[in-house]
Amino acid sequence: MLHKEVICIIPARKGSKGVRNKNIKKVKGKPLVQYSIDTAKKISNLVDICVSTDSLNVKKIVKKNRIKFFGLRPKNLSGDFAETKDVVKYELLKYEKQRKSKYKYILVLQPTTPIRDIKKIKKVINLIKKNKKIDSVISIKDVEGDHPLRMKVFKNNLLQNYSGKLNEDMRPRQKLPKVYIRSGSFYLIKRTSLMNIGSLVGKHCHGEILYGLETVNIDNIRDLKYLEMEM
């Protein structure tokens, strides 16, 4: 049997502070986690699929999609303070033990950013395989109006520029340098980098810029309603 080089891990725990049972909330009649599963299934010729969860409801969705499931996530990786990188490492090692060989790359799809362009996912997988100079690719978006050169912090109850400069940069937004932030849609990293540095963002990281609905991250009910309205 020819083993695939990429494992796609979808972390979908049941707990959520902003929206109760967020990952199974329906958007246009479909559970939120299903969107990420659908994305993974569309590239199933390239990846093995793992849905990591502590939820019996999510487990039912996984089984309905005929995806292999090797057990619920342990409690120590299911709380509010559990980090995605630790969940990914746990699932990676568990799945490698089952298939008795190692993956080369890990693709992480966050259920909370459900809208994705399949072509972009395929593009970054091909990129990391061919470009030996990079060890990871993450989705990013333009900060637009929330530029760090305009941000403030309180110090001794007085506002100061976050940049540390005495005067705020008052140039028009169009003249400010482009600044990007992680969008949370996906992380793609070489196994060696993940295990060596313990992060989903490697030391030689490429960014794939996303736009529009691709950048919507579901954090509260307002985000859910906005996404449904715009889809």
Extents of the domains making up the chain = 6-143+179-230
- 57 pLDDT more than 70: yes
Average pLDDT, the chain: 92
Amino acid 97: pLDDT = 92
Check residue 3 and give its pLDDT: 67
* DSSP string computed for 193-227: HHHHH-SSS-SSEEEEE--GGGG----SHHHHHHH
pLDDT tens digits, 100-143: 889 999 999 999 999 999 999 999 999 999 999 999 999 999 99
Note the pLDDT of residue 50: 96
Helix and strand numbers, DSSP H then E, in the chain: 6, 10
Residue 85 belongs to what H/E stretch? helix 84-99
**What is the structure's pLDDT at 211?**
96
CB 108 within 8 A of CB 39: no
C-beta of residue 139 within 8 angstroms of C-beta of residue 208: yes
- Show the tokens assigned to 216: 């919507």
- pTM for the model: 0.92
pLDDT above 90 coverage of the chain, percent:
75
pLDDT of residue 21: 86
Question: Each residue of 14-49: pLDDT tens digit?
Answer: 877 667 889 999 999 999 999 999 999 999 888 899
CATH topology for the 6-143+179-230 domain: Spore Coat Polysaccharide Biosynthesis Protein SpsA; Chain A (3.90.550)
Q: Grade residue 209 by pLDDT with cuts at 50, 70 and 90.
A: very high
CB 12 within 8 A of CB 23: yes
Distance CA 198, CA 201 (A): 9
